[in-house]
Structure 1
Amino acid sequence: MCVPAALAVFGQAALALDEVEITVLGADSDLESAINAASLVQTAKADDETDPRDVMAAALAEYGRLTEVLYANGYYGGVVRVLVDGREAGRIPVFHLPARINKIAVTVDPGHPFTFGTARVAPLAQGTVLPKGFRSGERAESTQIQAAADAAHLSWRQAGHPKATLTGQRVTADHTRKTLSADLRFSPGPKARFGTMTQTSDSTIRSDRIARIAGFPTGTVYSPEALDKVANRLRRTGAFSSVALTEAEVLNPDNTLDVDLALADEKPRRFGFGAELSSLEGIGLSGFWMHRNFLGGAERFRVEGEVTGIGGQSGGIDYRLGARLEQPATFGPDTTAFGFVNAAYEDEPAYISRNVNLGVGMTRIFSDTLTGEIGVGVHYSDTTDVFGNREFFHLTLPVGLTWDRRNDMLDATDGTYVRAEITPFLSLNDGGSGARGFVDARAYRGLGAGDRFVLAGRVHAGTVYSDSVQDIPPEYLFFSGGGNSVRGQPYQSLGIPVGTDGLRGGRSYLAVSTELRATITDTIGVVAFADAGHISDDSLFAGNGDWHAGAGLGLRYKTPIGPLRLDVAGPVSGDTGDGVQIYLGIGQAF
């Protein structure tokens, strides 16, 4: 039977590479691992490549790829052989490729490692720190030469020389002495100052507001950090999907450097929603609507609402509705002004409060990790609790600091977070005055390869002071228990007993939580956790108080908007509850 030639070729091409064999002679395990990881034919085998032309292309490129790996590890006399079914790949005519490839054998003889003889970069900007591996006697890894060049170039730019360039390099290998000499020469160019920033793209945000937000430092000495700060100021408004700053190719005659700014607007409107479920607290639903450019100057206007306690067994249903308007660069490029109004009906286990908060303030960005906030507001509440029906009307002066060094706000595996705030309140009716302070501190530490395990801890601490506890709104006092404090204990179950069955909040609060998070697959993780909470009857943890604790296990499923969280917990100590509690939500517990 005669088979058409086209079908024969197709049938042969459909066969994938059968075998890849990589041999590294006399090398350490690190080099062997690097070669295996970099091998192109190994990748072709893993991808089940079927086209002989693509397999041959990988085999021919293997020489250069593995030579780069040898150089990167300090081997400059190595030999790489690539045999395709017993024939050297480099000697196979490219126009007479085999129709089928069964086996590729790669042999690498690295030879002896080289060390640096001369390792020099000149001239250097003051304070330049070169890599420790770039010095005489150290292993002559090519990556160290590149790292030294990068360090010298960056230092010159940080010293105000944006056009510093590598103008010469002499790299020679002495195969007799097994040494490599590297001599790099730089031309720093003139010291420059910032010129003007020109917007090169259209935007729905007014150009004067863009310039004010950017805070471009015209006239100051050039530094790449200053450009990064300009870009970050624009990005953190949330009004732009991309921000690109491009330096002019040449300096102006007066040694100033102009910069072009290209922007792309983000979609102005955004909305979102959230949901949480607790077997005791019930269902909580939340949503928001936001406009990123409300008045044409990158103002952010956000309206949000929340309904919690639906179907819950503790308290009733709570309602919250609020709005907030922020204007960036109100008092300089790093200060944002804001105004807000919030209204809430809270039907909690120990009290009912109908309250309104409104105020204005400003947020100051001190650095990428430190933010401060100060404001003035009015708080009104009509409450019912163990003391009866009362009205509160206060002038508030909230002050806060946030220090955030987490590597991921939604699912941190490393870093710390601290939020501290104090709110003095001055009575505007017949009540008393005082102050409320609160601290939320968290820490994360990744363990194992790829942070497979994460140890996380959180401390909540708060205190409120006033001459009489009856002068403090019940929503300013503290309770413990529930998904945001002590899991496994009923919501707001720990407070200060009043009479035979009454309960009010304490004037001091401490909660400690620990979690050990383990990643099982790319999307699934498990958590073991323990929480404990303490409520005290007086300010600064004086007076009578009590503890309770809970512990449990959790399951996490990673999604693009954060991990889906399922926690199951029960009480460990204390007499505030029994049974098992279930919590379901989005995002880590902290």
Structure 2
Amino acid sequence: MPRVLAVVAVMLAHPAMALDELQFNVTGDDRAIEKELEGASLLVAAEAEGRTNSRDLIAAARAEYERLVNALYGLGYYGPVVRVNVDGREAANIPTYRIPRDIRRITVNVDPGRQFVFGEARVVPLPRGAEPTDGFERGEPARATVIRNAAADGVEAWRNRGRAKAEVSDQSLVADHATGTMNARIGLAPGPVVRLGTLRQVTPSYVRATRIQRIAGLPTGEVFSPEALDRSAERLRRTGAFASVVLREGPLKPDGTMDIELAIDDMKPRRFGFGAEVSSLEGAGLSAFWMHRNLLGGAERFRVDGAVSGLTPNLGNLDVEVGARLDIPAAFGTDTDAYVMAEAAYLREPTFSAYQGEAGVGVHRYFTDDLEGEIGFGYMWSRVTDSQGTRTFSILKLPASVTFDRRDDPLDATRGYYIGAELEPHYDLNAGPGVWGMLDGRVYTSFGEDDVVTLAARFQIGTVVGQPATSTHPEYLFYSGGGGTVRGQPYQSLAFPAGGGDRIGGQAFVGAQFEVRYDATDKIGLVGFFDVGYLGASGFFDPVNTWHSGAGVGVRYDTGLGPIRFDVGLPVTNGPGGSLLNRVQLYIGIGQSF
């Protein structure tokens, strides 16, 4: 039966700006069709926006026929009847030079008719092994969108086989109203196999042209591939030196090659930023950075970072860190960057304090869009005061890491997973060799209408072997408690007694964090969490071990760039005593906790 979409009364001072009623009637009882037509209707949009000027309404009414018919074609309805009446007159018959002064009622009546199905559905020729288009086969609803997709898929299948100039050569679309069938036959012209020519830069840049060519890594001379173009564009984008990167295919040359035109727009070379986090016991933390995106004219990224954390009234956990890093894209091949770094820090952790400096070099390799790794060589000098007294460490290190990131959004993931592994063989010139390692895994899944509920879990496992804990640099040992491990427990509160009231970290760590995230509104999210951490004194199965856990709730506010996080946690097991107020831990930061 017909359905009235909306009735709106808009009373304005001028009679030419009045519309008392808009009726939108669709024959049948198919809500999917109604929603599609509502979304396509210009009159519904005008009503929602409050546009009631007579001239605007007549223009929308006259264009309504084509909009609604095209929407129905997209659903496979090829015999619809659409009528638009403006105060009893068919909108198509109202002359544009005689617009009525007053419009009181507009009525749209739509009879979709029957839905057509495919009788014949063919795309020829197709390369061997080409995947068929979903829904493009005999007996399926003959949606115009499916026909367009079938043509596009056919062209793309040939392009993926090196036929860069493949195109639709002819098509036959015949709707048989007697049988309700659509016979669709699409002809393709694959064209010749094309080889990639040179990359021709057509816009200026402050980055040297030779470096742009090297970074892009266009495989000149190889058979054309859309993926090759996508990879070249992505290599240029990931340098951070360019605001936009556009690759356009040139004309086919007589020798069967095709040049690629590159249009780029430089980013502003300099950038700075800052951040802040607050924890009730760890204190406040401030960070800032300054970056140059094209330091030497070859898209080299130079960044200086500074951070101060542990800002509490007594400054008992004050950490000050300053670092600089230079990244050189395509230093050892298209997908292999190089880096040089240096850091200096003054640390006052709960179990030790230290002055230290570090310098290193290394390479960063992009294996795929999701997989990347890094390996380097460095030296660290550190003067540490802890439960073992004051000592000096002089360490040669070989840090390596690999990440596999399949999250839909690294800042606010709702689906996918992340795996990060770090391994750092090192040699202390005073104590001997050792190996430190950490594995970090995260997984996300969502459900409910519009995926309003997200389940997130994080698992961490780490160990250090070689020297006993008393001879190991404290930064290689493991602790638990705080925002990165167990919320609701004080920062690095889980450790082992070392005599005289001092504590020392463990050589094995296992941690887990679980969250249930609920999108209460478009901007506000609610979170419940439970975290647990375990330490082994010298190994995972050491009889000397300890563990604790915490839980709490949080609120997220989506800024568009990432959520602002506010969490309240309490210890569940092995936590501090005292009043409830003293046991509460507060965490404020930017981005999800993991």
| Fold in common (TM above 0.5) | yes
Structure 1 position 448 matched with structure 2 position 452: no
The answer (yes or no) to whether the contact 2:489–2:575 under 8 Å persists in 1 is no
Instruction: Look up the match of 1:4.
Output: none
Find the aligned partners of 1:536 and 1:568 in 2 and give their Cα distance: 28
Instruction: Look up the match of 1:478.
Output: 478
Find the aligned partners of 2:410 and 2:541 in 1 and give their Cα distance: 31
The answer (yes or no) to whether the contact 2:469–2:505 under 8 Å persists in 1 is no
Matches for 1:405-484 after TM superposition, within 5 Å = 405-428=406-429, 430-484=430-484
Residue-by-residue CA offset, 1:151-200 (whole Å, 9 max, x unaligned): 10111111101111101000001111110000000101110000111111
Structure 1 position 144 matched with structure 2 position 153: no
Matches for 1:162-201 after TM superposition, within 5 Å = 162-201=164-203
The answer (yes or no) to whether the contact 1:123–1:185 under 8 Å persists in 2 is yes
Structure 1 position 589 matched with structure 2 position 593: yes
Structure 1 position 54 matched with structure 2 position 45: no
Residue-by-residue CA offset, 1:341-393 (whole Å, 9 max, x unaligned): 11111101111122222111000001111001111111221111111111111
Cα deviation for residue 500 of structure 1 reads 5.7
Find the aligned partners of 1:518 and 1:203 in 2 and give their Cα distance: 45
Paired amino acid for 2:486: V
Unpaired segments of 5 or more residues in structure 1? 1-8
Structure 1 position 13 matched with structure 2 position 16: yes
Paired amino acid for 1:556: R
Instruction: Look up the match of 2:391.
Output: 390
Cα deviation for residue 150 of structure 1 reads 0.9
Residue-by-residue CA offset, 1:41-76 (whole Å, 9 max, x unaligned): 111111111211111111111111111121111111
Paired amino acid for 2:107: A
- 2:450 aligns to what SS in structure 1? helix
Matches for 1:86-97 after TM superposition, within 5 Å = 86-97=88-99
The answer (yes or no) to whether the contact 1:314–1:349 under 8 Å persists in 2 is no
Q: 1:27 to 1:134 in 2, by over 3 A?
A: farther
- 1:488 aligns to what SS in structure 2? coil
Find the aligned partners of 2:159 and 2:541 in 1 and give their Cα distance: 53
Residue-by-residue CA offset, 1:83-107 (whole Å, 9 max, x unaligned): 2122221122222222122222211
Find the aligned partners of 2:394 and 2:477 in 1 and give their Cα distance: 16
Paired amino acid for 2:586: I
The answer (yes or no) to whether the contact 2:16–2:103 under 8 Å persists in 1 is no
The answer (yes or no) to whether the contact 2:79–2:113 under 8 Å persists in 1 is yes
Instruction: Look up the match of 1:6.
Output: none
The answer (yes or no) to whether the contact 1:18–1:45 under 8 Å persists in 2 is no
Find the aligned partners of 1:354 and 1:126 in 2 and give their Cα distance: 65
Instruction: Look up the match of 2:46.
Output: 44
Unpaired segments of 5 or more residues in structure 2? 1-11
Find the aligned partners of 1:303 and 1:49 in 2 and give their Cα distance: 52
Instruction: Look up the match of 2:78.
Output: 76
The answer (yes or no) to whether the contact 2:15–2:102 under 8 Å persists in 1 is yes
C-alpha RMSD over aligned residues: 1.6
Instruction: Look up the match of 1:67.
Output: 69
Matches for 1:325-404 after TM superposition, within 5 Å = 325-404=326-405
Instruction: Look up the match of 2:301.
Output: 300
Cα deviation for residue 576 of structure 1 reads 4.3
The answer (yes or no) to whether the contact 1:281–1:313 under 8 Å persists in 2 is no
Structure 1 position 557 matched with structure 2 position 557: yes
Cα deviation for residue 427 of structure 1 reads 2.0
Find the aligned partners of 2:104 and 2:541 in 1 and give their Cα distance: 76
% identity of equivalent residues:
50
The answer (yes or no) to whether the contact 1:120–1:184 under 8 Å persists in 2 is yes
Find the aligned partners of 2:456 and 2:574 in 1 and give their Cα distance: 24
The answer (yes or no) to whether the contact 1:76–1:113 under 8 Å persists in 2 is yes
Find the aligned partners of 2:171 and 2:187 in 1 and give their Cα distance: 6
Q: 1:325 to 1:67 in 2, by over 3 A?
A: same
How many residues matched? 579
Find the aligned partners of 1:338 and 1:104 in 2 and give their Cα distance: 67
Find the aligned partners of 2:497 and 2:561 in 1 and give their Cα distance: 41
Find the aligned partners of 1:100 and 1:546 in 2 and give their Cα distance: 81
- 2:232 aligns to what SS in structure 1? helix
Residue-by-residue CA offset, 1:113-166 (whole Å, 9 max, x unaligned): 111001000011222112231001111111110110111011111110111110
Bigger shift: 70-79 or 88-97? 88-97
The answer (yes or no) to whether the contact 1:280–1:313 under 8 Å persists in 2 is no
Bigger shift: 346-355 or 444-453? 444-453
Bigger shift: 90-99 or 255-264? 90-99
The answer (yes or no) to whether the contact 2:17–2:102 under 8 Å persists in 1 is no
Q: 1:516 to 1:360 in 2, by over 3 A?
A: same
Paired amino acid for 2:141: R
Paired amino acid for 2:454: V
Cα deviation for residue 33 of structure 1 reads 1.9
Find the aligned partners of 1:516 and 1:452 in 2 and give their Cα distance: 10
Matches for 1:160-239 after TM superposition, within 5 Å = 160-239=162-241
When normalised by structure 1's length, the TM-score is: 0.95
Instruction: Look up the match of 1:105.
Output: 107
- 1:567 aligns to what SS in structure 2? strand
Structure 1 position 495 matched with structure 2 position 499: no
Paired amino acid for 2:166: A
Find the aligned partners of 2:553 and 2:16 in 1 and give their Cα distance: 52
Cα deviation for residue 314 of structure 1 reads 8.3
Instruction: Look up the match of 2:317.
Output: 316
Residue-by-residue CA offset, 1:265-293 (whole Å, 9 max, x unaligned): 11001111111111111111111111111
The answer (yes or no) to whether the contact 1:300–1:325 under 8 Å persists in 2 is yes
Find the aligned partners of 1:103 and 1:507 in 2 and give their Cα distance: 78
- 1:539 aligns to what SS in structure 2? coil
The answer (yes or no) to whether the contact 1:353–1:475 under 8 Å persists in 2 is no
Instruction: Look up the match of 1:35.
Output: 37
The answer (yes or no) to whether the contact 2:68–2:82 under 8 Å persists in 1 is yes
Cα deviation for residue 470 of structure 1 reads 2.1
Bigger shift: 575-584 or 138-147? 575-584
Structure 1 position 266 matched with structure 2 position 270: no
Bigger shift: 480-489 or 461-470? 461-470
Find the aligned partners of 1:282 and 1:79 in 2 and give their Cα distance: 69
Find the aligned partners of 1:312 and 1:411 in 2 and give their Cα distance: 33
Cα deviation for residue 228 of structure 1 reads 0.5
Paired amino acid for 2:317: G
Find the aligned partners of 1:179 and 1:111 in 2 and give their Cα distance: 13
Cα deviation for residue 406 of structure 1 reads 1.5
- 2:408 aligns to what SS in structure 1? coil
Bigger shift: 361-370 or 37-46? 37-46
Find the aligned partners of 2:449 and 2:39 in 1 and give their Cα distance: 17
Find the aligned partners of 1:561 and 1:289 in 2 and give their Cα distance: 19
- 2:459 aligns to what SS in structure 1? strand
Cα deviation for residue 462 of structure 1 reads 0.8
Paired amino acid for 1:439: L
Cα deviation for residue 521 of structure 1 reads 2.4
Matches for 1:486-565 after TM superposition, within 5 Å = 486-499=486-499, 501-565=501-565
